[in-house]
Structure 1
Amino acid sequence: MVNTVIHTDKFILFAALLLIAGVITTKFSKRLGVPALVLFIIVGMIAGSDGLGFIYFDNAHFAQLIGIFALVIILFEGGMQTKSSAVKKVAVPAFSLATLGVLLTTAVVALAAKIILGVDWLEAFLFGSIVGSTDASAVFTVLKDKNIQERLETTLEVESGANDPMAVFLTISFIQLIVADQPNFLFMIGSFIWQMIIGLIIGITFGKMASATINRINLDSSGLYPVFALAFALLTYSVTALIGASGLLAVYVAAMVIGNKELTYRQSIIKFNEGFAWMMQILMFVILGLLVFPSQLFTFNIILKGMLISFILIVVARPVAVFLTTIGMKFHLKEKIFLSWAGLKGAVPIVLAIFPMLSGIENSQLFFNVVFFVVLTSALIQGSTISLFAEKLRLTGPVKITPHHSLELISIGKANAEIVECQVSEKMAIVGESLTNINFPKDVLINAIIRGNDLITPTGETKIMTGDILYILVSRQSKHELKQIINKQKTGSLITEV
């Protein structure tokens, strides 16, 4: 009994230390210009049996479970912050990249794997399927707070959120072809159509249902709303996956639906999901780092093969996919070059590389090691140079303003009111107007204004300036009217949303 308690206490201690190390590495990642996911993986490798020997971990089943759970959370957080108006503009190229782009990437990499790894054709296509998709966790992490042009950034985010189903489908299909005596190709095509269509339908349905339920239910604590929203994400994935459709696609679509609705305690839900997504990223990449053995990974054979495949993937396969699938979609040469370079690999290929290990495929360990090396190469080379590429190609947009302040919003319990946060842009009609000249509803109160690093207590004569962040107390009945006033442009039209 005592030994069990001590073992549990040690586990909790190591979990705390790993999370602290993961959080600290995010600070160093910005200074070093290296994506945080690389440092998370390194933390896991150092803590593992081939490093300091703190933890011996080789449980592929558990790593797969954590990986999929983390991807659900990450996709939900990313989808929540994706604007539907932006998605409509890039839907065709993004979904073209997410489907045909993955197929083309898989085919080119399969040819390389056949030659470099010396495997048969089915195994070569299995390897190509594993590394064929752009990874959502890597893209969301690397592009966050970067001033990339909105069209390009949204294209990459939607592609990475929507292409996981294609990669999962191809990986599972080629595993079935390898292990099955008489594979059914027609069944595989029907399965893909089922996964995509049903995943899309369930995502939209559950997203609408979650939004309506969150807005109508009256919970005793505001802290329960983020948990309630997260429960819908897990429910969406599990229900969809259990009927054989794409759970990851359903979660991403549901999150976009929820994120673009008027939502009670919206900021609380978003902030909670953002923090939880970071925690799951840390946990996922640290565990994936624990799963790999550096003594097996950093051998001349793996390094040489990994570098060759990485080169072909980055310089040949991804550009071929981008240039062919975006024909006639009004992307100019520089934009296509950037989209080619930004095809980041991350957690999804590593998680998918576990599937052949669990299925007993002959070269599964070789695949896992090479995939791991390819992901590290992609994250280090591509992930650390995305901003530089965008600047050199002159594809940067307005600098994103990240407030360096914190305003704790106090729950108003069951009162029929909430606090809205609004960042003022130069196009808004309220810029330059004093508060007394703005026709706010009677039950609206401007609580505070953040201007630069200063907190301003508003009066009737206070003028709204570009870049101000307003914290507004409003009844839920007047929230829609308030947003119409805030979102009105100087020309008289409405912008999408603050």
Structure 2
Amino acid sequence: MTLQELYMTLLVAGTVLLASIAAARAAHRLGLPSLLLFLAVGVITGEDVIGLHFDDAQLAQALGTAALAVILIEGGLTTQWSDIRRLLAPAGMLAAVGVAVSVVVTAAGVHWLLGMDWHLALLLGAIVASTDAAAVFAVLRSLPLPQKVSGLLEAESGFNDAPAIILVTVFSTATSELPGAGSVAGTVVYQLAVGGLLGVVIGRLGAVALRRIALPATGLYPLATLGFGVIAFAAAGAANASGIIAAYLAGLVLGNAKLPHRAATRSFAEGAGWLAQIGLFVMLGLLVTPRQLPSAILPAIITGLVLLLAARPACVAVCLTPFRVPWREQAFISWAGLRGAVPIVLATFPVVAGVDGAQDLLDIVFVLVVLFTLIQGPALPATARRLGLTRPGALREVQVETAPLDVLDADLLTVTVPPGSRLQGVAVFELRLPAPTVLTLIVRDGAAHVPGPDTVLRTGDELLLVTTPQTREAAERRLRAVGRRGKLARWFGEHGDQEPPAAAPASEAPR
């Protein structure tokens, strides 16, 4: 590649990225999952419209799998363990037994209605078996749903990718005859168990390392955190286990550990997740050929109806009835099982494996994801209201967010009162810090205290102050001045310069 070709490639990539970000904003305003507009950007950029040619299914599979790993690491990092802890059992049932039920019912439906042979029918059932959290919560985030319902959907979508990927891989590599149920079950159990164990172990090791090792720059902590998630994904893959479940669990462990710079890590992970989603969906949009899609519309509609009206309700009923989940919540969870990136990525597996009819499956899955996201997504708010899960004017749960100081245009200053400093014995109001600088917290003897105006500083106190970039320098100068000459520093001509002035004669020293 010449330098000029590199510039053109970067120009196209940057333009597509900005177009995708604009599409995400438009999708948010319309209440639609962003994946639809990301896919549209890819299709428009492709050979049938703008003319960019891309048909490398093997590269798409490799990049798509890597993007899924980043997305799931970010999902784990931003998931609160307290929200899903009590839902692990039903979510695990939906992710394991539910996927199996969905595959069998979907395969039987397309076999009898479309005349598809059992091999392709099982492949198609496995490809569309997993749900997509990003697609669901892009629509649900503004709805006051019960925590149990939203948490269950989130946990299920984090766990059910791995079984679906395992089944697609098994069915794609089966050549002469399909493997027995016992062999498939053994493979699934091994991959989930070993992948889950590696994810938890590497996540814990990463948490211990990041707590004990002082890195030279704040920006290295998010990179190291993401690096541990990638290591978990790769280590599980090298052990022929599920890298997807390992990546998610490693992110979950790291995200719920008390690590330094958690806000920066979360912001970086969210940015990486968005970048992975944009790249993944645009690439998948490039991979399909629009002129071939009309022939896939009818099979996609039939497959989607089987999935929506039979397979999904069956797996939800089988998995959640033993946990006494009310039928209204079961009905909503059935309708809210949106499909997204994973099925389209999984549809590339049989293409790479050379399975006959695999290209038709890819077209069917692409059309199914687009059509049924358009049907199900906008209908979710009305469905929740009709089922009595939310009502107009209902009270919503208070959402507590971490606001990075850069969003507030503020700086956080930390000061330790050293031995011999004149800050010792000074009351907070006597600091006379420039507005709007405020002393927000004092850590003394390992305990945190919220100071009042009359709180007196002591040697060893750790002070946390919030200021603005405009007043930061003045605040630092005032703290240095008081530290050198006490609360009457200005009377002695001390203004907190970086280089302290020459020592005053003993006769002028304060008493």
TM-score bucket (shorter structure): 0.7 to 0.9
Structure 2: distance between partners of 1:384 and 1:239: 40
1:443 to 438, 462, 469: 462
Q: CA contact under 8 A between 1:220 and 1:413: conserved in structure 2?
A: no
Gaps of 5+ in 1: 416-421, 423-432, 450-498
Partner residue, 1:17: 15
State the Cα distance separating 1:390 from its structure 2 match: 2.5
Aligned position for 2:336 = 342
Q: Partner of 2:423 in structure 1?
A: none
Equivalent-residue separation in structure 1 for 2:462 and 2:226 (angstroms)? 31
C-alpha distance in structure 1 between counterparts of 2:230 and 2:139, whole Å: 25
Give the deviation of 1:92 after TM superposition: 1.1
**Distance in 2, Cα, partners of 1:65 & 1:376:** 23
Is 1:8 matched with 2:6? Answer: yes
Residue 359 of structure 1: aligned partner: 353
Quick one: which amino acid aligns to residue 349 of structure 2? F
Q: CA RMSD for the aligned pairs? A: 3.0
| Inter-partner Cα distance in structure 2 for 1:182 and 1:34 | 39
Counterpart contact for 2:32–2:139, Cα < 8 Å = no
Distance 1:38 1:208, change over 3 A: same
Q: CA deviation at 1:446?
A: 6.1
Separation in 1 of the partners of 2:379 and 2:38?
19
Choose from 28, 31, 39 the match for 2:29.
Answer: 31
Structure 1 residues 185 and 97, CA gap change in structure 2 (3 angstroms)? closer
The question of 1:44 aligning with 2:54 is answered: no
Write out per-residue CA displacement over residues 59-114 of structure 1, whole angstroms, 9 at most, x where no aligned residue.
11121122111111111111112222222211111111101111111111101221
Q: TM-score, normalised by structure 2?
A: 0.78
Query: CA separation in 1, counterparts of 2:357 and 2:212?
Result: 53
The answer to whether the Cα contact below 8 Å between 1:75 and 1:137 also exists between their aligned partners in 2 is no
User: Aligned residue for 2:170?
Assistant: 173
Given the alignment, which residue of 61, 67, 71 partners 2:68?
Answer: 71
Alignment partner of 1:52: what SS? coil
Structure 2: gaps spanning 5 or more residues = 391-395, 417-439, 441-448, 469-511
Q: Deviations over 1:387-409 (max 9, x none)?
A: 33233333244264679992256
Give, in angstroms, the shift of residue 370 of structure 1.
Answer: 0.4
Alignment of 1:128-143 (within 5 A): 128-139=125-136, 141-143=138-140
Partner of 1:221, secondary structure, is coil
Is 1:251 the counterpart of 2:250? The answer is no
Give the drift of 1:242: 0.9
| Contact 2:413/2:467, CA 8 A, preserved across alignment | no
Superimposed CA distance per residue, residues 117-167 of structure 1 (whole angstroms, 9 cap, x where no aligned partner): 322112211110110111244345444565432211111111111111110
In the aligned structure 2, how far is the partner of 1:175 from the partner of 1:100?
21
Distance 1:158 1:124, change over 3 A: same
**1:137–1:119 Cα change, 3 Å:** same
Q: Is contact 1:137–1:281 with CA below 8 Å preserved after alignment?
A: no
1:84 matched to 2:103? The reply is no
| Structure 2 residue aligned with 1:119 | 116
How far apart are the structure 2 equivalents of 1:51 and 1:234?
36
2:276 corresponds, among 277, 280, 293, to: 280
Instruction: Report if aligned partners of 2:412, 2:464 keep a CA contact under 8 Å in 1.
Output: no
| Secondary structure of the structure 2 residue equivalent to 1:447 | strand
User: What does residue 100 of structure 2 align with?
Assistant: 103
- Greater shift in the superposed pair: 310-319 or 392-401: 392-401
1:437-476 map, 5 Å: 443=462, 445=464, 447=466
Partner of 2:408: 407
> C-alpha displacement at 1:281, in angstroms?
0.6
Q: State the secondary structure of the residue aligned to 1:388.
A: helix
Distance 2:141 2:268 in 1: 17
Could you tell me how far apart the structure 1 residues matched to 2:138 and 2:32 are? 11
TM-score (norm 1): 0.80
Match of 2:296 in 1: 302
**Cα distance in 1 for residues equivalent to 2:216 and 2:400:** 34
Give the whole-Å Cα distance in 2 for the aligned partners of 1:382 and 1:401: 29
Task: For residue 2 of structure 2, give the secondary structure of its aligned residue in structure 1.
Answer: helix
* 1:218 pairs with 2:237: no
Conserved? CA contact 2:33–2:134, under 8 Å: no
Equivalents in 2 of 1:306, 1:399: separation in Å? Answer: 40
Instruction: Identify if the C-alpha distance between structure 1 residues 183 and 394 changes in structure 2 by more than 3 Å, giving closer, same or farther.
Output: closer
Is the 1:221–1:413 Cα contact (8 Å) retained in structure 2? no
Whether the 8 Å contact between 2:74 and 2:270 is mirrored in structure 1 is: yes
Q: Deviations over 1:166-194 (max 9, x none)?
A: 101111122233x1468466543322221
Rg larger in structure: 2
Q: Which amino acid aligns with 1:16?
A: G
User: How many Å separate the matches in 2 of 1:63 and 1:312?
Assistant: 28
The structure-2 alpha-carbon separation of the partners of 1:390 and 1:402, relative to structure 1 and needing over 3 Å to count, comes to farther
Partner of 1:491: none
CA contact (8 A) 2:414 2:462 kept: no
Alpha-carbon spacing, 1:79–1:69, altered in 2? closer, same or farther (3 Å): same
Moved more, 318-327 or 14-23: 318-327
CA shift, 1:39, in A, is 0.3
1:412 to partner: Cα distance? 7.1
Partner of 1:238: 234
**Alpha-carbon separation, structure 2, partners of 1:310 and 1:365:** 18
Cα distance between partner residues in 1 of 2:59 and 2:352: 11
**AA at the equivalent of 2:466:** N
Deviation at 1:344, TM superposition (A): 1.1
CA shift in 2, pair 1:267/1:114, >3 Å: same
1:272 and 1:413, CA in 2 relative to 1: closer, same or farther beyond 3 A?
farther
Mapped to 2, the partners of 1:312 and 1:414 lie a distance apart of: 64
Q: Deviations over 1:33-52 (max 9, x none)?
A: 22111000001101101122
Matched, 1:391 2:367: no
CA–CA separation in structure 1 for the residues paired with 2:384 and 2:403: 25
Query: How far has the Cα of 1:307 moved from its partner?
Result: 1.1
Would the alpha carbon gap of residues 89 and 183 (structure 1) be closer, same or farther in structure 2, given more than 3 Å must change? Answer: closer
* Letter paired with 1:339: I
Change (3 A) 1:307 1:182: closer
Summarize the Cα distance change of 1:116–1:8 in structure 2 as closer, same or farther, 3 Å threshold. farther
